[in-house]
Each structure stands twice: as structure tokens, then as C-alpha cells.
Chain A
Amino acid sequence: MSNTIRPRIFVQFLDKPSIDPTRGDMINELRFYKALMTFADVYYNDHLLLADGTLETVPDRLHPPSRDYDLYYVRANAELFKSLPHPKVTLALPYDAEMFAIADALIVTTQVWEDLLTTQSGVSKNNPFMSKWYPRTWSVSTKVINIRQSIDELFLRDIPAQDRFEGRAMTTGAQVFGFFGRVTEETIPQTLMTSIQRAQDRAEGSRPVLCGFAGHIQNGAPIPVGSLDLGKVPYTKMPVLLSACLGTLGQECADSSYLGSGKILDSMAVGTPVVSQRNLVREEQLGAEYPGLFDTQEDADEIVWRLCSDPSFGVELSDYLLERRSMFTPKANGAFIRNALETAQLLPLQENR
């Protein structure tokens, strides 16, 4: 039995006193916390976070740390961040010059993002992602740590037969390509919309091919006629819905080129093939050799059509993803994060604790 003392990590998101695990912005935070929990005791707003993502007691206001912590992580709360002792880290987004200057490290979720901050000059002008989130000129003089994204355990559980049936019913029994998350003009992958349209034409007479959207649809978003609006699906139902899809579609927007995508990992977790435009982040998460990545419209058409017409291709992609998901489980990612924090000397090495 190990005598190792688990480090204590203080975490805080915005000025929210408690955690609402169903909120979109909190979902990714909670995944990070759960990865931390695999090797540390995590306290949100100074209250112990339990395995199910709830707090031991639910506070109704912000509490300053009542004990010493080994590490402080705060996202988007400059006032609190400034008041905390070291070592402290923050997410490298949104840009906050003051927070960035006093942080012992900046947290990013992908290698591509880390490279961007550590190797590029501080001018955002020609990069849509940087000009969206960072000022015209910026500087990062501190360490940058990639924590990767984690799969939520929810997506790793077996799906009961009744739930699988409901997923099939919700998607009509058609061959549905799902697009999940905010649906806006910016996020909809137009290349894939075209590919699906072409597959629909080719599939005439056999099982229909549909594009399904789940989540908030912005007014005027260019959704193809005949798409299935799946509505706002509760987070707990997402694994069922994902597994009912023939494939899921990766976003094509500036953010998706750098931030990574929890949705891609969700799909990977349940073994539903992802079809996405190739970029460095997608290669980082899915692997450069993943057969669902495309460079051209013709490639996209081919992948979509093969998924519709050749079940063995879907199985091949599914098997690939199920094998790869082990990299992103909370446990695997926890080990990765711990190693990164120890290497950056933000946590003492395990053998010294």
C-alpha cells in the first residue's frame, strides 16, 4: 500500500460558487478536474470535489482558500487569481495580460496551441484564431503546459439495449451524420454538408442519409433543407445519441484548428466514426493516419459515401477510435497532466512527496 500523499489542488471557474455539470462551459472544466482527481484531491471553491462531479457541500458564495494548496488553477477570474499564492496557473484563454504576467504557467489543451504560444511572434493579425481571442500584439513569457482534453467517464460506460434502441428511434433509423454543439454559420462544415447531399442523391431507394443537428441552432444558420433538428439533447443522453449516428462531423472554424474538440473525443469514446477536415489539431487527437480525415471535397465525398455504403469501413474506423480512446481516458490523461506539472516543477515529484 502506497504512503504517497496526494497533492491538493485548488480550482475555480469564473465567479461561480458551485458546479453545474450540465452547463456547456462547465463540461470541459469538469473533465479537466476529473483528470486531476486521478492523482490529486481537487477543491473547487475550497470545497472537496467528489468523484461524481458534485461538491461535498454546496457553497453559495466564493470562499478564499482556507488551507494551503500545492497548486492553484483559476480560469477567467483575475481578481481571485491575483490574490492567490504561488504556484498558480491559468488557462491561456481568454487573454489577460495581468493574469498571464503573474501566472507560473499557462494551460493549453493541445500541442498546436502550445506551439503557437511558444514559437510564434506575438502578432495576431494573420491568424483568425489569435485575432479572435488575443489582442493585436501579445506576449507570453511564462511556461505553457499542454493538459490535453479528457474523455468523460460517462462516454465510456456500456449503453443498455433499451437506450441503444431509443437512440435509433431518435435518429429515425436512418443513416445519420450528427453535428453536435453550437450550430452557426461559422461552425457548420460546408464541405461535409455537400458530401452528405451527394450521398443522399446516391443513396436514393436505400436507407436514407440525413444530417442531424443537436444543440442550439443560431437563427439563419445555413442548415441544409431536410436536416434533422434533434433539439437540445441532455448531456447524459449524448452517448446514446452519438452511438446511434453513422458518423459525426467535425467543425470547420478557427477555434477548431487550435483548441481541440471535446465532441471529437466523445465520438471516439463511443466508437462512432468522426469525419473531419484534416488539420494539426485533428491529427493530434485522432492521429495523422486516421482514415476519417480529408483534405479535399472529393476525399470528404468518398469517406461519407463509404460510410453509407460499406459497413466494414465504419467498423474499421470505429475499431481504430476505440483503440485510440485509451490515450484520453481520465486516468491516462491524469498521468499525462501530472507528468507535465511535475516536469514544469509546479508540483513536487511523486517520489519526493
Chain B
Amino acid sequence: MQLRRIVLTLVRKAAAPMISAGFIKRPTPLNLRFRIVESNTLISQKRYSDALDVIWELGQRNLAYPYIGQQIHKIAVYAQKHKDTEIIQKITRDILPAYQASSLKSTEFNKNKAYVCFLAEDWSGTQAALLTLEAGDVNIHNLLWDVHVKRVQLCAQSGEFEPEFQYLATLLDAQLKTNKMRTQAARMALSSLEYAQQLGQDEKTHAPLLTPSVLKLVSPESLRTITPSLPETLRSWIATDQVPRARVAAPSEAVAGNSPLKILLSSEANWNFLKEVSDVFEDAGIEVRFLPFEHIRRAIDQANKDDREHPTMVDMLYASGPFRTPQKEGYEMLEAAAPWATDLIEWCDVVFVEWWNAPAVWCSRYLPDDKALVVRCHSYEAFTTNPYFTNMQRIDGAIFIADHIREVFLNGFCEPGLALEKTKVIQNIRLLQHLSLSEKSEEAQFTLGLMQYSNWNKDPIFALDILEHLIEVDSRWTLRLVGTPWNATLSDFEQAYRTEFLAKLEPLKQNVIIDPFTRDVEAWRTKIGYILSTSRREGSHESIVEGMATGIIPVLRRWPFMKQFGAPESMFPGIPAFDTAQDAAQFILAQSQRTNREAYRASISEQTLKTYDASVAGPELIEYVQAVHQSVHAGVDT
């Protein structure tokens, strides 16, 4: 017995330095095992404080006893589940100081310390303790991650994302890259971009630039502050995502003129404006097929469910820098998940992406180099985070349906940004011929019309203001509003606006007609003499163009949030625009005095068809896409 004791003492003494250095694990004392069992029993009885006492009694004897921290963590998690907040207080008050004060360095000590610091929300203490540990421990890895997630939650409130990007970089350096980190990198990038796009406001939405309080601050100057205000690490990652396409030497059959051009039209799910585009292409002998991105998203996310090593679509779109899926890998992933999609891509010469959203980002990152990529931006996309995740170097052609939207886009993402020479403004493809000058009813000469009026952006109160001025002159003036009624689930902001609108409407009720939503807009237009654009922000404002085609006189407000970008004059050159309702009313009154009214209406209709019809924009579109395609193969810029 005496001999056994001596041998054990010698072994312990010999092992001590190795245990401290973390080479071997300290044997678990039998007493500790009993105590853990005992504390587990107390946990099951919901006696969390007693469970903690049992463990901490041992911990006080030796802060480096194995499993102490893990067990404390377990007690705290159960206690939190049952709303027992005292445990965390006790850990913070009694246990944390002991670990903070100790100068022990062993692995077990640091593990315990990491758990305790984590529970007491001492993030830097947790991180410091964890980074001394070996990478392979799953529990430690999970804890490491939990710390990070907690800190990111705090960042989202303060906007201080940079330390967390650096933390991700640190984990990468420690070769701790995991799938979770890729997803987290994507989410952090999105969050920090959204934060930057809040322009200092408190609004927390997924499209901050389109929220009223932020939109009010949008200007070329404020947009240019977004990129510089991003976390430095993210900026450098985004910069590394800007990868030029490889030079494509071999001309395609279409370039050589041996076969018709093949265009693959892609959209997430909104095909609203693409039929006309498709018709224009096909009428010109171009072959067209379609890449519905919603199907691709489903296939990619299914592949991730089947194998977590695969990135999700969110990962593929928004993870940047070292976390970005490489081009070849991403494309091969699509080939495995949705071979029909890569077959379509192989088939085409040009991928034409409608809307600058997810499909545009995906194609800019993963499309094979020999495919020309053209993206068409309508309006809202210029205010989103999508341009920041786009590999602009891989965009061969960018079409904007209005010049002021291009201005917003170019000012928003400016480092390194999209080269102006790769962009072109081409009007939306519209078939207006069937809308040519139509007969107006008698009431039309005193009737203003506003379509899809029921939201803050359309600002129907401005229309009521115009009406108010007109009624002061002649009580026959009437305003007709048409469209879907106010949304049943309005935000507080929209609700407040609606209340204001209704209050303004009340005294004007006799002169306002609210028509329900109709598909027969042409019949509605016959009653309208003046079509109003009272919006705060618009892209091309289609209802104005269509109204003008039927000879309705347009009355344009100078869209307050777009005027710094040259709108609406750039969209409607030669047509007067007004800052105030009074000026607009004066214009209407002047028009109503015209003696050559019918001739004027005819000239508006004629001019509209000459400017905005597909017969003008269609050939422009074809010519542009063909030129882009040729430039890709010729290796010259468009």
C-alpha cells in the first residue's frame, strides 16, 4: 500500500509539467465524477444554485480541474431555460474573478476559464482563453462560435463590425474555417452593408435606403459615403471579389455569324417586363431560353441540406473574400445540383439577367468566362445591397431603364464600381401602339388621374394639394384615384400617412372619386385629362408613359428624392416638372386654357410613341446586346 502511494506520487510529479503544457489530460478525480453526478441530479431537480455550489466547491480547490467549466456552463444553460437569472449573477460575482485573477496556463484551466468568461459575457476573456486551446475540440469550437455570434448580435446594434470580421480572419489564420463561418461571414457582410446604408438613421430594415427616413437623406454625396464606411476587412474582401473575366479568345459561332445569337433570359421569379424583351429578340431571329433562378436557388439549398459541406445560396451570394466559393467550384456545384441549368448556360452565348438582384450577383460570380453577361436594372435594385456583392469586373453590359437610376447605382457602389462605359440607358420595352390617341369623355377636361395611389411613396396628399388649388379657381375640377386600396397590414409609418391622407381628403370629398382596382385601365383613362406623377421616387413611372400615349397631359412633380439625380427630366425630357403643388396647379390651369387642346394632345401621343415605344427601344436593345457579345470575344470594351 505504501509502495503504491509512492509510485503514484512519483507519476503525478512526472506528469505535472506535461499536464500544464496541455500534452496530456489531467486524470479525472473520482471525487469530481461523483460531484458531477450529484450536480446533474440537482439540475434534474431544478436546484441550480445547489448544483453550482457542489461544482464550485471543487473548483475553488483547483481551478484547473477538468470539466468544471463545462459543468458550470451546463448548469447555467438549464437555469436560463427555466428563467433562473441568479446563476449568471453568481458566476459573475463569485467565479469569474477567481479565473480572471489566476495566472494558471494549463489547457484545462483555459477551457474552464473560457466557459466562465463566456457565461459572464467577458468576450475578450473568452476569446483569449479559447485561442490558446487546440482546434480539434468540438465543444470548444462550438463555444468559440457562440461567443462570436453573441458579439455579432451586439455589433448589429452598434455598427462596430470590424472587430468581428478581424475575428473571423483570426479563426481563418488558426485554420478553423467551417461551414458555419462561411454562413456567418455572409450574414455579417449583409448586416454591415445594411447598417452602412442606414446613413446614420435607426431604421433597421432589409432595404434601408428605401425606408422613408433614410430615403430622405439619399443624395450622390451620401451614397458615396457608404463604401468607405464599411468595415475595413469587408472592404478588402469585396475588393478581392472583383475578379476580371478571363480573356476569351475563341469566337463563338454566333460571333462568326454562323448561327443565330443564343440568349438565356434569367430572373428570380418576376418575369413582368421580359415578355416584350423576349419578343423583340425572337422577332430578330435570336434564340431565347430561360433560366428561372428560383429553381436554381431551390436546387442549391437542397444540395446543402443533403450535404452541409455545400454552401447555401446565401453563402454563394454574400460570402466574400476568403469565404467566397471559388468560381469553378460554384459552377460545378450547380452542375451537380441542377444539370439542366448548366446545360442551358452551355447552350447560350449571352446571359441576360433581369433585375439587379440575386441572379445578377450569382452570374457575376460563377458564370463561365466565355459567356457574356448583361444585367438590366429597373429601379429598386439600385437601392439594395446586391450591387456590393456583384463582381462588377465580370459584368459585360449593364442596362438601366432610366438615367437617374444609373446615377443612383453608380454613386452607391463606387469602389471600384461599375465602369460607366459598360452601362447604357435603354427605355423599358413597351408596346404602346395599341394605346394611341384615344377619345376622351367630356369630364376629362377637368379631371386629374393618379394610379396606384395608396402609399406614402406615391404621395396622394400632393395630388390633393393640387386639387385644392384648382378648386379655388373652378369647382368642376375632380381627382380620380384608381388602384388597390390601402394595404390591410400597414406599417405604423404608412398608417400615419394614411390617416393624414384621409383627413386631407375629408373636405375635398365632393371632388374626389376613388375607383377600385381595374384591369380595364384604357376605359379609365378615357375619363382622365391630366395624369399625375406625384411620387417621391420613381424609376420610369410606366402609368405616365402609357397615359401620355393616349394623349393625356402629364403633370410631373419633381420627384423629391430623385431630383438630385436628374429626374424626372432625364426620363421625360422636354416635359415640365414642378416642386410645389401650386406650380403644378398653375400649369394645369394654363393647359386648360389652351385653344389648340386636341392638337396638343395629339402631339403628346405622337411624341410618346416616337420616344418610348418598343419600336425605338427594341432595336437599341438588340444592337447593344450584340455589341456586348462581340466585345467579349474580341476582348475589347463595349
Contacts and interface: CB of A to CB of B under 8 A. Distances in A.
A230 B299 CA distance: 10
Interface residues of A, number: 20
A172 B271 contact: no
Interface in A153-184: 161-162, 165-166, 168-174
B288 A226 contact: no
Interface string B318-362: 000000000000000000000110011000000000000000000
Most buried by A among B265, B298, B299: B298
Given A172-B291, A229-B302, A165 B278 contact: yes
Interface in A215-239: 225-231
A161 B272 CA distance: 11
B560 interface: no
B145 interface: no
Contacts of A166: 271, 275
Contacts of A17: none
Contacts of B160: none
Interface string A14-42: 00000000000000000000000000000
B93 interface: no
A169 B295 contact: no
Interface string B250-278: 00000000000000010100011011001
A210 B292 CA distance: 14
B469 interface: no
Contact of B292 (A162, A170, A208, A226): A170
B275 A161 contact: yes
Which among A166, A168, A208, A227 has the greatest number of chain B C-beta atoms within 10 A? A166
Contacts of A174: 289, 340
A231 B297 CA distance: 11
Contact of A172 (B278, B299, B340): B340
Contacts of A173: 288-290
A169 B265 contact: yes
A172 B272 CA distance: 16
Interface in B397-444: none
B70 to A, nearest CB: 35
Contact of B340 (A168, A170, A228, A231): A228
Interface core residue of A161, A169, A172, A225 (most chain B CB under 10 Å): A169
A174 B344 CA distance: 9
Given A174-B289, A208-B340, A169 B294 contact: no
Given A161-B275, A231-B294, A226 B289 contact: no
Contacts of B275: 161-162, 165-166
A230 B271 contact: no
Nearest to A207: B289
A226 B334 CA distance: 11
Nearest to B287: A173
A320 B340 CA distance: 31
B142 to A, nearest CB: 27
Contacts of A225: 339
Contacts of A228: 295, 340
A231 to B, nearest CB: 6
A267 to B, nearest CB: 21
Contact of B299 (A161, A162, A208, A229): A229
Nearest to B288: A173
Nearest to A210: B340
Contacts of B340: 172, 174, 208, 210, 226-228
A231 B274 contact: no
Given A172-B289, A172-B340, A172-B344, A229 B271 contact: no
Nearest to A176: B340
B566 to A, nearest CB: 32
A291 to B, nearest CB: 28
Contacts of A227: 340
A322 B302 CA distance: 38
B407 to A, nearest CB: 30
A168 B289 CA distance: 9
A172 B292 contact: yes
Nearest to B336: A225
A157 B269 CA distance: 23
Contact of A169 (B274, B298, B302): B274
A219 B209 CA distance: 41
A242 to B, nearest CB: 16
Nearest to A164: B275
Nearest to B267: A169
A229 B289 CA distance: 17
A228 B275 CA distance: 22
Interface in B55-111: none
B174 to A, nearest CB: 37
Nearest to B299: A229
Nearest to A170: B292
A240 to B, nearest CB: 11
Contacts of B339: 225-226
Contacts of B343: 208, 226
A231 B295 contact: yes
A261 to B, nearest CB: 25
Contacts of B299: 229
Contact of A165 (B274, B289, B294, B302): B274
A201 to B, nearest CB: 14
A231 B293 CA distance: 12
Nearest to B297: A231
A225 B274 CA distance: 29
Contacts of B271: 165-166, 169
Interface in A116-157: none
Contacts of B288: 173
A244 to B, nearest CB: 10
A260 B299 CA distance: 32
Interface string B104-144: 00000000000000000000000000000000000000000
A225 B343 CA distance: 13
Contacts of A172: 289-292, 340, 344
Interface in B519-562: none
A230 B296 CA distance: 10
A207 to B, nearest CB: 9
Contacts of B274: 165, 169
A225 to B, nearest CB: 7
Interface string B279-291: 0000000001111
A172 B271 CA distance: 12
Contacts of A162: 272, 275
A231 B290 contact: no
B295 A229 contact: yes
A231 B269 CA distance: 12
A180 to B, nearest CB: 15
Contacts of B289: 172-174
Contacts of A210: 340
A230 B292 CA distance: 10
Nearest to B337: A229
Interface in A267-314: none
B298 A229 contact: yes
Contacts of B298: 229, 231
Nearest to A225: B339
A278 B620 CA distance: 53
Nearest to A160: B519
Contacts of B292: 169-170, 172
Interface in B294-323: 294-295, 298-299, 302
Contacts of B295: 170, 228-231
Contacts of A171: 290
Given A165-B274, A173-B288, A226-B339, 11 more contacts: A166-B275, A169-B265, A169-B271, A171-B290, A172-B340, A173-B290, A210-B340, A225-B339, A226-B343, A229-B298, A229-B299
9 contacts: A162-B272, A169-B290, A170-B290, A171-B290, A172-B344, A174-B289, A226-B339, A228-B340, A231-B294
Q: Which 5 pairs show the lowest CB-CB distances between chains A and B?
A: A173-B289, A165-B275, A169-B290, A226-B339, A166-B271
Interface of A: 161-162, 165-166, 168-174, 208, 210, 225-231
